[in-house]
Amino acid sequence: MTTQTPAPTTLPPRYAVIFPGQGSQSVGMLADWAEQYPQVRQTFQIASDALGFDLWAVCQGTHPEFSLDDTAYTQPALLTASMAIWQVLRDELNIESAYLAGHSLGEYSALCAAGVFSLADAVRLVHHRGQYMSAAMENQSGKMAAVLGLEDEQVSLICEEVESQNADAIVSPANFNAVGQIVIAGNEVGVDKAVEQATALGKRAVPLNVSVPSHCRLMQPASDKLAAEFANVTFNAPTIPVIQNRHARVEADSDAIKQALIEQLSLPVLWSATENRLADKHIKLQIECGSGNVLTNLAKRQAQKVPALATDKVAKLDEIRQALQGE
């Protein structure tokens, strides 16, 4: 009687891919990737066809009309950059991620990578998202600032006190990014007074160069318009679990995914909770898929640190390949 050798067990991947949001853009981004990988320009062509304008020219600063600094163009540009690199990672490294997550706008990239909606639908959605966000602030001005060195609860309390003591103030936490780094958003009065209180406690507060205060209730009109747009888009079940910003958990149902994405724009991004969730799932490596290295740097500031590698330069692909081989 012969015994059969059992087939080797394939272990699930212990890495996650994370996608950056606004603030990661730069004129000329992905030019080095495009020189080596035709998938980059091919991905941008799909996006350009869906949008009706040359998105690659916007990224390279050569478009005669549209600027990468305008959120209506920043958002589709960053999403397409992420999806172009995602395609290279899949083609070159046969990447199979255990989880996906994205910061703010990056959540759309993560959901696109998971097959929840197509690239064409995704770029149209975030283009409209940017337009609706700008429209929500047409008759008012907003601000965002990063508060450094305070606990989450302290920042929340400061915002509550400012609103209770000033009838015209709007301010709330927008991004819980990492330990001691919370971004606040609201109107000028609210953010300025919250910054004053944080500074009075001996902490730093750094104004952010943004045109629109994301993830606060000033974005509710934009969120409502987005909800109407979603009704015309097919949402599929994800092929890879996506940890969403709204509640730092995975949704399998497409309607639940859609609802969390609608609410995301006017509620805070729970990024530190997302990072902790990845650590709890025994993720050993994160790959930041997109332009810049903002999330890679934030990974170093988390309570539970999961190492991250960025794709901000094409030369880093070899480093990622080596890390995955040793994973």
Residues in the chain: 327
Hey, which residues does 18 pair with through a beta bridge? Answer: 101, 288
Residue 181 clears pLDDT 50, i.e. is over it: yes
Structure-token pair, residue 131 = 């337009």
Q: What pLDDT, on a 0 to 100 scale, did the predictor assign at position 25?
A: 85
**What is the model's pLDDT at position 132?**
97
Whole-model pTM?
0.94
84-93 pLDDT per residue, tens = 999 999 999 9
Give the pLDDT of residue 318. 93
Cβ atoms of 16 and 288 within 8 Å: the answer is no
In the chain, at which residue ranges do the beta strands (DSSP E only) sit? 15-19, 99-102, 142-148, 171-178, 181-187, 204-207, 242-243, 285-288, 308-310
- Mean pLDDT, rounded, for 46-74: 93
For the stretch 189-198, pLDDT in tens is 999 999 999 9
Q: What is the pLDDT of residue 173?
A: 98
In the predicted structure, residue 186 carries a pLDDT above the cut 90:
yes
Q: For 122-137, give the DSSP string.
A: HHHHHHHHHHHHHHHT
Hey, CA dihedral for 243, 248, 249, 251, is it positive or negative?
Answer: negative
Any alpha helices (H) in 180-266, and if so which ranges? Answer: 188-200, 220-230, 254-264
Arithmetic mean of pLDDT, 267-294: 96
What is the percentage of the chain residues whose pLDDT exceeds 90?
87
The answer to whether residue 180 scores a pLDDT higher than 50 is yes
326: pLDDT strictly greater than 80: no
pLDDT at 27: 86
**pLDDT, position 5:** 47
Residue bearing the bigger pLDDT, 209 or 12 = 209
Hey, what are 306's tokens? 């999961």
* Distance (Å) of CA 296 to CA 62, 112, 153, 237, 306: 29, 21, 25, 28, 10
pLDDT above 60 (res 185): yes
Strands 99-102 and 285-288: unpaired
pLDDT tens column, 133-145: 999 999 899 999 9
E-strand ranges in 77-190 read 99-102, 142-148, 171-178, 181-187
Q: What percent of the chain has pLDDT over 70?
A: 96
- Give the catalytic positions in this structure: 104, 215
Is a pLDDT exceeding 90 seen at residue 4?
no
Q: Which amino acid is at 296?
A: T
Q: What is the mean pLDDT of residues 102-129?
A: 98
What structural domains and CATH numbers belong to the chain?
Answer: 15-136+218-325 (3.40.366.10), 142-210 (3.30.70.250)
What's the pLDDT score for residue 96?
87
Residue 2 is predicted with a pLDDT of 45
> What would the pLDDT profile of 208-242 be if each residue is shown by its tens digit?
988 899 999 999 999 999 999 999 999 999 999 99
* End-to-end Cα separation, the chain, in angstroms: 38
Residue 75 — pLDDT band, cuts 50, 70, 90? Answer: very high
DSSP state of 180: T
Q: How far is CA 178 from the centre of its chain?
A: 14
Q: Which position has the higher pLDDT, 209 or 245?
A: 245
pLDDT band at 12 (very low <50, low <70, confident <90, very high): low
Q: What is the reported pLDDT for 7?
A: 44
Q: What is the average pLDDT score of the chain?
A: 93
The reported pLDDT for the residue numbered 50 is 98
pLDDT band, residue 10 (cuts 50/70/90): very low
